[in-house]
Structure 1
């Protein structure tokens, strides 16, 4: 089972107000385990960067000015996610921005049904508790001390760990195999030692010894069978 943990950074909260996507980060999971395959791109939003957004992710308009446009990275992005389920923290937000960018360049949008919202999962499991990424990292003992600002790839990596805890935690001891470098399941080979077949036919001496023993028995079953035959 392949899933993609996804996060984005933007210039603001509403794509309908002219805000744009500026960063995409994705982490691949196969059978709920990270494969090491990631997708990460900065995107030129073709506009300024509001101070409020800059304080969140630290991506300035100057830094993004020489980065590719969304239209330049969209094919690589869509190839990476393929038809996999998208695991997203507050999925509606990220999906709205991705779909706004897709619609802007005339591409089909992604159905919300493809997304799995970890905020909803956390609120269902821990009613009334904080469900933001930092709070969930603290709850599950996940080290996020290096997260001084939001970042799409970093947040996807942390979310992948949070997601695995939300669904019950890693249980590598139950894995029947390992993941190869492409993330495909590979069975662990089992080495068995064959022993030569045991001979079951009695030797002539054994047959004579058995007949002598049976001859000493009264009304032996072996004798009755022989007489019947």
Structure 2
């Protein structure tokens, strides 16, 4: 199962007020394990950065001035995402921002049904406990010491580890390792003197009467000294 852990940084909280995406980060998972493939892009929002947003992610006007606008990166982003499920912390916000950008281009929106919200999963598992990313990193022992400010790709990498824990933790990896070990096992050699266990009843023959008759006719053509006839008489 292919999934994309996704995060955005923006100029604000309300796409209806013209706020735009300034950074997208994404991490690819396959069967709940990172593949090593990532997507990361800074984006020129074509508007000044509000001070409140700058305090959160530190992406200012000078830094973003030479970055591509969303319409220049949209195709590459959509190609990376493909038809995978989207794993997002507070999915309604990021999906609203992404779809607002796609509407500006006249492109099809991403359906909300594709998104899996890790905030909701965390609240279901730990009712009443904080469900923000820093709190979940602390709960699961995920090192977030590099997270001085919000950053889309770093947050995706942290969320991928948190998501694995929310979905059952290292048991998933353990199960895969067990499967790999089983596939690599060799046929065991019996110890000297050991006897194989016998079936309580012999298996029923799978040859039809017609097939058995054809086989006997073939052996008869080989003559009396045929090795197969000797083996049958000896057995």
TM-score for the superposition, normalised by structure 1 = 0.78
1:137 matched residue in structure 2: 137
Give the distance between the partners of 1:54 and 1:109, measured in 2 at CA. 27
Q: Deviation of residue 190 (structure 1)?
A: 5.3
Give the distance between the partners of 2:170 and 2:80, measured in 1 at CA. 24
Structure with the larger helix share: 2
Q: Please identify runs of 4+ aligned residues in structure 1 that moved more than 6 A.
A: none
2:60 matched residue in structure 1: 60
Structure number with bigger Rg: 1
1:173 matched residue in structure 2: 174
Give the number of equivalent residue pairs: 187
1:164 maps to 2:164: yes
Give the distance between the partners of 2:158 and 2:123, measured in 1 at CA. 18
Give the distance between the partners of 2:184 and 2:74, measured in 1 at CA. 40
2:47 matched residue in structure 1: 47
Q: Deviation of residue 173 (structure 1)?
A: 2.5
Deviations 1:127-167 (A, max 9, x none): 11110000001111111011000000000000001111111
Q: Deviation of residue 30 (structure 1)?
A: 0.4
1:27 maps to 2:15: no
Task: Call closer, same or farther: CA 1:74–1:188 in 2, change over 3 Å.
Answer: farther
TM-score for the superposition, normalised by structure 2 = 0.76
Q: Deviation of residue 6 (structure 1)?
A: 0.2
Q: Deviation of residue 170 (structure 1)?
A: 2.1
CA RMSD of aligned residues (A): 1.8
1:213 matched residue in structure 2: none
Give the distance between the partners of 1:103 and 1:191, measured in 2 at CA. 57
Deviations 1:107-145 (A, max 9, x none): 000000000000000111111111000000111111101
Q: Give matches, 1:75-94, under 5 Å.
A: 75-94=75-94
1:127 matched residue in structure 2: 127
Instruction: Give unpaired runs (5+ residues) of structure 2.
Output: 191-235
